[in-house]
Amino acid sequence: FFPEMKAKSETIDKKEDGLNLSKIFELLLVASVRDLLLTTTAVFIGLGSFRTVFSLAAEPIYGLNSQDLGYFMSFGAIVGLVTNVFLVARLISFFGSNINALVGAAFCLSICYVGYSFTSTYSEIMAVSIPVGIFSTLLYTVSGALMSLVVEKGDAGTAIALSHASRSFTGIVSPIIGGKVFDEFGIDGACWFAAGCCMIAAAFASIVSRSISKENITSSSSEKKQL
């Protein structure tokens, strides 16, 4: 048995390539993948920067204590859960396609963050947090689905990994950006900055929607095969 087991282990080792940097760079050259990453990165920077500074503004500006802040965060998580289970499919159907849902979610988020700048009470914040939770969840779900659709089936894992890597990158830079914006312009500036990021993402996704849309998945796959 031992020689046979050794042969199998050697075969397994040959199949495991590890981190394939060439495949990552190849996917980054695909217009649909690149455009999706740019769109989601802009949104995640805006959302991440606001979330970073909201806890700082919760007590002095909105009068929230630690318990209120905890309820607020838990409420946002509940909205996200309900959206994933009951609303995502309906919203995609309403917008007509995944890419339209992505554009619509980014646009609606920009409006919501403008709305945050006019809130001053706990009830107002909770009210605005409902559409923010719905559309941010929709954007996360749709962007992940699109990332797996615009590449060949064997590249879906690498493409999704790139998407998660971009979110990790925004998790590094958005607190720094958010803190700087908050120091210079206060919570209203943070709201408008997040709104601007989402609006830029919506506009960009709308412009490049043809490269991301499902109709061009086949053509993009054939182009990669020719390369």
Tell me the per-residue pLDDT of 161-178, one tens digit each, with 9 for 90 and over: 888 888 899 999 999 999
- Residue 111 has which token pair? 């409006």
Q: Which of 1 and 211 is assigned the larger pLDDT?
A: 211
Contact in structure between 21 and 161 (CB atoms under 8 Å): no
3-class DSSP assignment, residue 191: helix
Q: Which of 73 and 150 is assigned the larger pLDDT?
A: 73
pLDDT for 222 equals 44
pLDDT grade for 2, boundaries at 50, 70 and 90: very low
pLDDT tens, residue by residue, 198-220? 999 999 999 988 767 644 444 44
Dist CA 122 CA 116 (whole Å)? 11
pLDDT tens, residue by residue, 88-143? 999 999 999 899 999 999 999 999 999 999 998 888 999 999 999 999 999 999 99
Non-local CB neighbours of 16 within 8 Å, separated by 6+ positions = none
